[in-house]
Amino acid sequence: MALIDHDAELARAGANVSGSWSGMLFLARRYPLGAVGAAIVLLFILTAVFADYIAPYDPTSTNSRASLAVPSLSYWLGADFMGRDMFSRIVHGARISLTVGLGATLLGGALGVAIGLMSGYIGGWVDLVTQRLMDILQALPLLVLALVMAASLGPSLENTIIAIAVALIPNVSRVVRSSTLSLREQPFVEAARAVGMGELRIAARHVLPNTLAPLIILGTAQLGSAILTEASLSFLGLGIPEPYPSWGRMLSESAAEYVRTAPWLVIFPGVAISLTVFGTNLLGDAMRDVLDPRQRT
């Protein structure tokens, strides 16, 4: 009897796996651009995770004899003016960019969710004061606000994440607040109050989960914006400092002086930034179509 139950469990597990693969293949056929975006994002995530095994050289080690080496079998993407292997630096730069992008998106999203949920659910003067503060933050463009924060905090990995996260808070807060304003009047919220459930528990257990779909869509879009903002801050010298291999810092070190004599120093980091942002945008558009029926075409 135990053997029969074990076989049944295996059959059910196989059916679940088969169903998952079928669902993924259906979504890939339905949203081919989204599948391309997911493949690009997955590629960069795997590159960041296994950077130590993929990179043939230490990204911070210098070799004066290889200064400005052209792309070759020894240096696949060439070397910079200090003889550092560009392929190894771009591979490790994926780890830096994704760390900053994911960290800033999660931190800014968490703070924005808390502020938006509180503002929309409580309402009254709390909503009024909170939204005026969000208006002040949102009056500045994302990059300008991140520049102000980065200049105040100083260049470091942690400060860059905080600077970008603060700039992402207003958009998340507005999205969560707008969803909360409509959800708090729904019958299931009134039913929860009728059975004696506390307001904090209602907000966390019943209102917040219903805001996750627009949050996921917004999160993928903001991930690309965070990566691009980090590259801009590093390009201006306010982002990731040395010796971290940041794509934006690679551009700032090479764009002015070596763009004509060693164009690979500019082309390959720029391609890495463009591909990452392109992939996250394609994935975000597909997730919007999947999670929001009103946007489906």
Would 227 be classed as within a structural domain? yes
Q: Tell me the pLDDT of the chain averaged across its residues.
A: 80
pLDDT of residue 63: 82
Would 210 be classed as within a structural domain? yes
Would 27 be classed as within a structural domain? no
DSSP string, 170-187: HHHHHHHHHHHHHHTTSH
Which CATH number is 264's domain given? 1.10.3720.10
Residue 76: left if φ>0, alpha if ψ -120 to 50, beta else—which one?
Answer: alpha
Would 14 be classed as within a structural domain? no
Question: Is the Cα torsion angle 245, 249, 251, 252 positive or negative in sign?
Answer: negative
Domain range enclosing 263: 33-295
Would 24 be classed as within a structural domain? no
Would 85 be classed as within a structural domain? yes
- 110's CB contacts (< 8 A; 6+ apart) are none
Q: How far apart are CA 2 and CA 165, in angstroms?
A: 53
Would 248 be classed as within a structural domain? yes
pLDDT of residue 292: 61
pLDDT of residue 10: 38
With CA atoms as reference, report the closest residue to 108 among 153, 155, 144, 142: 142
Q: How far apart are CA 189 and CA 167, in angstroms?
A: 32
DSSP state letter for 56: S
Model confidence over 245-289: pLDDT tens digits? 888 888 877 767 777 888 888 888 888 888 888 888 888 888 777
DSSP string, 218-274: HHHHHHHHHHHHHHHHHHTTSSSPTTS--HHHHHHHHHHHHTTT-THHHHHHHHHHH
Pair of tokens at residue 177: 């607040």
* Mean pLDDT across 154-158: 83
Model confidence over 211-248: pLDDT tens digits? 777 788 788 878 888 888 888 888 887 888 777 788 88
How many structural domains compose the chain? 1
With CA atoms as reference, report the closest residue to 99 among 156, 148, 142, 179: 156
Q: What is the pTM of this model?
A: 0.80
Q: What are phi and psi of 185, to 5 degrees?
A: -100, 5
Would 11 be classed as within a structural domain? no
Q: Are 78 and 262 in contact (CB under 8 A)?
A: yes
Model confidence over 181-208: pLDDT tens digits? 888 777 877 787 787 777 777 777 878 8
pLDDT of residue 1: 41
